[in-house]
Structure 1
Amino acid sequence: MLQVELVEDEVLDQVPRAFGPTRGPGHASPARRPGGRSSGSTTPDVAGAPPSSAGRDGPVAPDAPPPVTPHPRRTRRLLVGTAAAVALAVALAGAQVAVDARERAYLADLARLPGVVAPLDAPPGVRWSGDVADVLATGVRTVDGSSVVGVRTAADGSRTVVAVDVATGEARWEQPAAGPATRPSPDAQPVLQGCQRVPGDGEHVSCLVSDLWRVVELSRWTAVAPTSARLLVLDVVDGSVMSDLVAGSAADGWATASAVLGTSTVLAGTTPGGDVAVRAVDRDGALLWQVVRVGAATGPWTPLSVQRLDDAVAVMTSSEVVVLDGATGEVRRTHTVDESAGGYVTSWDPDAGRLNVVQDGTTTVVRADADVTVHGTPVPTAIDDGSVPGLVLTDDVDLRAWGRDGQALWTAPVPSTWNATVLDGRVHLQTSTSLVTIDARTGDELWRSWEGDQGGAVLTDGRHLFRTVDRDGASSGELDLVALDPADGSQLWRGPLPDDVRDLRALEGTLLARTTSGGPGGSGQVLAVLG
């Protein structure tokens, strides 16, 4: 059994419930009399009385009750009461339809978040499995949810943009992006590069592909500078090429990171001279603006990342974060990152419009318009439905919550928080020992569960929270999937996962299982798509 402790129930009163008639403690139905009439009837039952043959003014039998004529005012009250009841029923039915429509709209919006899986009403089975980790890891899901478009790297180094059917695992289409490439060393691995949605356009994806490799040097992975790069804009239906641009040059540096801003794309790469070059181009390849960060590179190739922040872009290296105006390239703000002192930059959702610069025990939340600095280190938040706009969570001995402008909202005694999921005004926190759910607006604890996998993120389809638990309470390696009610932590259903499943994760709307069967030589690990 799943152990659940209910702490408070106040937040449940704020959750919309199904409309319908209710009965209070003092409400009782009228008593029924034989014959089917209620005790409130104005016309008594007369058993065996023959029908009267008298006229309107004729005599009435002595044992027959006098005729009852309804009072006109009572008749009006009955008619008004009946009409009111019908109107109330229609209103309640309409309200229920409105609630259902809002719930469907909420779940549809939630399904667009990368970490939310497709609805599950029972334990899933394996739909298909195969070597698709690179496609899923570099891909984006199409608007209709049927495919994931990503980049597949073959053993010879060639790279292909592939649309994988989520239901079957089959390739719907393929578009060659880069030919075979020579590995710089036998142990070199391709650096995954992928595709992005074009904002406001559900028909196209933008994919940056280069021959970027990484190798081990001094026990650390380091990358080898690419020799080519290509920026493709493709139709998600059939893979046809809408735009095909050479992304950089040997003299100016090849692009290794990009962000799409509507009809323009911002590209960033390292120049041979050790600078970081950032340029914006339109779909025809025309240069819109260019910014060179002199000396920003830390070697012949510098790890780069570019993220859209509403109408701006952030260019991130290991030493700085630069916020640029998306239309002009003008530098809005710059943050120095001291890696030697433990500083780092992190962002979990590229569409969230913010990132975090962490150093000296503080977190600076960087947005397009302004930055705020708060105490603590950011809690990884894989899913945030926006039900508490601007919410920032940090770990500062206890859990702390901050508003968009940096104002302290509340503190909760939840130490060692590993990750968080924000859904419908609640924060579900995975700690080293339990799953804790608190009210996102007040910090009050709502419920806590001690069972389940304490190592991974909480998975959800918007209606359930999913945890993996040992099947028989022992570490046999066999797992069950448990669905919890987000409101109170109660178990809704539980069932076995396939025997070779070792852990679960969510990626672009798919529920992935890491298995120990299959793989090269029958001994490797592969990903299976469940559903």
Structure 2
Amino acid sequence: MPGRMHQVELVEAADEPVRSPSAAPGRRVDVALDEDAPAGRTDDVLAARTWLRRHARTLVPAAAVLVATLLVTQLVIDRREAARLAALAAIPGVVAPADSSIGVIWRAEPRLAAALQSGAMVDGVLVGGIQDADGSPSVVGLDPDTGAVAWVTPVDLPTPQPTPTSSSPELWISCSALLHEGPSVAACVSQQYGEGVQGTPPSSVWVLDPSDGRLLAERVVDGGSGLAFTDQAMVVAERVTDDGSPAETDADAVSWEVTATDLITGDARWTWTSPVTDVVSRDDGPEGLSGLTAASVQTHDDRIVVGVDNHAWILTTGGDLVRDVPLEPASWLQPARAGVFIKSTWTSSDLYRGILLLEDGTEVAIDETAGWLAVDDGSAPDVVITIGDGARGTDGLSGRSARTGDLLWHLEGSVVAGLMLDGTLYVATGDSLRALDATTGEVLWRTPLERLAHQLSTDGTNLLVPGLGVTLEAYSLRDGELAWSTDLSEEVAGDRSTAFVQGFRSGWHDPRLYVWMDSGSVAVLG
């Protein structure tokens, strides 16, 4: 409580010691003193004020430096994060940044929706193949943010094959972004399919300028040939005889000529020809399980894999032979990670049996096959991911050394989906989301789920997981905590019943999440 009133004298430097007894007196005023206050409080306050005044000239610049340092540090962090997200955006499968405000930014009717399924981002344009009502094929360029049609380029098929229900063929047109002497180009391939299609029809290849849709080159590849792309080149594997001429379709033994040609000019860059191999027919009993109607050609990093009947060859992108791999019945060769390949065999017990083919030529027997990742940024480069198989599907996930093939770690149980970022493997199991150190298998966090997560996507900050109905949930990559959740059912359905909404999808080459409708149309999210 306040004490008695006392008269005190105020001086200009009340917190400084008296320097001279002749100092001029100040004004006299009455103040109330708190007699219950601790005895030392006044002296403490006086000392603090004195210290601050004496050091003010030093403290103000220091504080300014501290604030500037914090601002610069935050700016550096922001720039690093922006650079990280920009790098992630270039990785196939990583979607655009998303938050709880995500919603429908544009819709595509069934004709244009096909471009999202099999299209690719090429220099900021979504390039994909579509088919008009009369069956005529075209390649279209779309603005991925608005859906606006930038250009449409009509294209031709070599030998259109009508189906029993239509006078025009059913088509699947897949597009890829490739480099050609600097600028990117779009390379699109047509495949005819459906009931009534005879044999394996030839494929058309169209190379286009993504800026205006200009057709730069057009090729036709025979139906029995294999086709793939590397940057700068188209690689085709086709049957030939001993003298290099085309082999008859009913030949018992053939060689396979693999040729890389310039994407636009068609000039040959290199040619490699296999030894003579037997042609396996589906009528050849158990041996016929490896019979193919066409060569299989895949590109992976700086390797090309050619598979035919009972043989596979691994080549460099320059056409040099790396490995000759005989294949048993019901076997196939597939790329894994870190320069490793896996020869897998499907056994009568519905289990995988495989062999790791390491870069140094070593072979390691395993009872798993290569695991597929929706996103792989190439981190943990010395680890190969493999999966097992059980009565109910994928059973067990393993990490193996790419140098020795040794088992580094194993995760039991069903694994539905997975992706790799920054050395961490994120997986959806039958009952949870998990983050594992890709090298050690240590579980960094685990988030239980009350449902099966059939799909995993990421924007580089969160795991994006379809929830119940048309709910999208985001879980932090850092700790697995739920960051946000939003129900998009009514917005996606528009003027239709939500019962017609099929669910989320994301394209391998398309940077957007979209929701599929039963009509074939899609709602693109952003």
Tell whether the structures are fold-level matches, with TM greater than 0.5: yes
* Cα displacement (A) at 1:324: 1.9
Tell me, yes or no, if the aligned pair for 1:357 and 1:366 is still in contact at 8 Å: no
Change (3 A) 1:177 1:81: same
Which residue number corresponds to residue 175 of structure 2?
195
Which residue number corresponds to residue 176 of structure 1?
154
Change (3 A) 1:509 1:100: same
Change (3 A) 1:491 1:48: farther
* Cα displacement (A) at 1:511: 0.6
Which residue number corresponds to residue 40 of structure 2?
none
Amino acid at match of 2:267: A
1:60 is the counterpart of 2:23: yes
**Unaligned regions of 5+ residues in structure 2, if any?**
1-6, 28-45, 240-245, 282-290, 346-351, 389-394, 490-497
Higher relative contact order (CA 8 A, sep 6+): 1
1:49 is the counterpart of 2:14: no
1:388 is the counterpart of 2:380: yes
1:527 is the counterpart of 2:522: yes
The 3-state SS of whatever aligns with 1:442 is: coil
Match of 2:440 among 431, 439, 442: 442
Task: Provide the TM-score with structure 1 as the length reference.
Answer: 0.71
Change (3 A) 1:419 1:434: same
Match of 2:230 among 251, 260, 272: 260
Q: Residues 184-238 of structure 1, C-alpha deviation per residue, up to 9 Å, x if partnerless?
A: 542696453422222376743242545x433459xxxx872334x5443321110
Identity among equivalent positions (%) equals 27
Change (3 A) 1:69 1:460: closer
Tell me, yes or no, if the aligned pair for 1:459 and 1:465 is still in contact at 8 Å: yes
Tell me, yes or no, if the aligned pair for 2:384 and 2:400 is still in contact at 8 Å: yes
Match of 1:344 among 314, 317, 332: 332
Which residue number corresponds to residue 476 of structure 2?
485
CA distance in 1, matches of 2:188, 2:114: 14
Which residue number corresponds to residue 403 of structure 1?
401
* Cα displacement (A) at 1:421: 1.2
Match of 2:514 among 497, 500, 512: 512
Change (3 A) 1:466 1:297: farther
Match of 2:344 among 349, 354, 358: 358
**Unaligned regions of 5+ residues in structure 1, if any?**
1-45, 471-477, 520-524
Match of 2:109 among 127, 130, 133: 130
Change (3 A) 1:259 1:136: same
More displaced stretch, 456-465 vs 83-92: 83-92
Amino acid at match of 2:115: V
Amino acid at match of 1:109: A
* Cα displacement (A) at 1:124: 3.4
Tell me, yes or no, if the aligned pair for 1:206 and 1:260 is still in contact at 8 Å: no
Q: Residues 23-57 of structure 1, C-alpha deviation per residue, up to 9 Å, x if partnerless?
A: xxxxxxxxxxxxxxxxxxxxxxx9861559xx997
Which residue number corresponds to residue 298 of structure 2?
307
Which residue number corresponds to residue 37 of structure 1?
none
1:214 is the counterpart of 2:193: yes
* Cα displacement (A) at 1:296: 6.7
Which residue number corresponds to residue 331 of structure 1?
321
Which residue number corresponds to residue 392 of structure 2?
none
1:501 is the counterpart of 2:474: no
Amino acid at match of 2:332: Y
Change (3 A) 1:200 1:150: same
The 3-state SS of whatever aligns with 2:75 is: helix
Tell me, yes or no, if the aligned pair for 1:451 and 1:469 is still in contact at 8 Å: no
More displaced stretch, 418-427 vs 507-516: 418-427
Which residue number corresponds to residue 370 of structure 2?
378
* Cα displacement (A) at 1:496: 0.8
Query: Considering only aligned residues, what root-mean-square deviation do their CA atoms show, in Å?
Result: 4.1
Tell me, yes or no, if the aligned pair for 1:465 and 1:485 is still in contact at 8 Å: yes
Change (3 A) 1:326 1:348: closer
Tell me, yes or no, if the aligned pair for 1:140 and 1:195 is still in contact at 8 Å: yes
Change (3 A) 1:311 1:392: closer
Match of 1:286 among 244, 267, 282: 267
Tell me, yes or no, if the aligned pair for 2:358 and 2:403 is still in contact at 8 Å: no
Aligned residues: 448
Amino acid at match of 1:425: G
CA distance in 1, matches of 2:54, 2:362: 66
CA distance in 1, matches of 2:58, 2:365: 61
Change (3 A) 1:435 1:196: same
Q: Residues 375-425 of structure 1, C-alpha deviation per residue, up to 9 Å, x if partnerless?
A: 322222111223322432223564321233245463244322232111233
Task: Provide the TM-score with structure 2 as the length reference.
Answer: 0.72
Match of 2:78 among 79, 91, 100: 100
CA distance in 2, matches of 1:413, 1:136: 34
Tell me, yes or no, if the aligned pair for 2:152 and 2:213 is still in contact at 8 Å: yes
Change (3 A) 1:513 1:366: farther
Amino acid at match of 1:287: A
Change (3 A) 1:57 1:213: closer
Q: Residues 234-289 of structure 1, C-alpha deviation per residue, up to 9 Å, x if partnerless?
A: 211101233x243457xxx7755221233x32223455525544211123222233
Match of 2:184 among 204, 224, 227: 204
Change (3 A) 1:255 1:395: closer
